[in-house]
Amino acid sequence: MTLSIPTVEDCFLPLLRVLAASGEPMVEQAALQAAKQDGFTALPSIFHIQTDKRGVPLIQRRIAWAKFYLNAAGFIQHRSRNLIQITEDGRAAVESWECSWTLLSSTRAWGQKFGPGWLPPQAQP
């Protein structure tokens, strides 16, 4: 098995697990950092230091995109400008240990935001 930088989809469950464990709204940056540590500490350090052309670590950027898409699907919500919280749909995904592009794109919130069946470039094979 070859290791690679986690995809955006790989970041869905770690972020949801962190928010579910908290039980309370979390500061966005703290939640993203906790998701990185919760889901990806076993990865070799080289994956933690790889950056994009702006100097942002790739894992950090992908977790941020995961937050965006989870919010669009109604799995998390913004409580205020910097606070995010898991929703009942997000908790259901954590309990089932399944959160994929297919699941996100099947929600009503996703269809209202992007249109039914739309998937982002990151989800394309």
Contacts of 79 (CB under 8 A, 6+ apart): 25, 85
The pLDDT of residue 2: 58
Q: What percent of the chain has pLDDT over 90?
A: 61
Whether 115 maps to a domain, the answer reads no
The pLDDT of residue 1: 47
Whether 119 maps to a domain, the answer reads no
For 37-83, write each residue's pLDDT tens digit: 888 877 777 776 778 888 888 888 999 999 999 999 999 999 888 89
Whether 63 maps to a domain, the answer reads yes
Whether 48 maps to a domain, the answer reads yes
Please tell me the distance from the alpha carbon of residue 27 to that of residue 86, in angstroms, as a whole number: 12
Whether 80 maps to a domain, the answer reads yes
Whether 45 maps to a domain, the answer reads yes
The pLDDT of residue 31: 92
What CATH number does residue 76 fall under?
Answer: 1.10.3380.30
Whether 118 maps to a domain, the answer reads no
Whether 78 maps to a domain, the answer reads yes
| CB 19 within 8 Å of CB 85 | yes
Per the structure, the count of domains in the chain is 1
Distance set, CA 55 to CA 17, 43, 102, 124 (Å): 27, 19, 31, 25
Residue ranges making up the domain that contains 58: 8-104
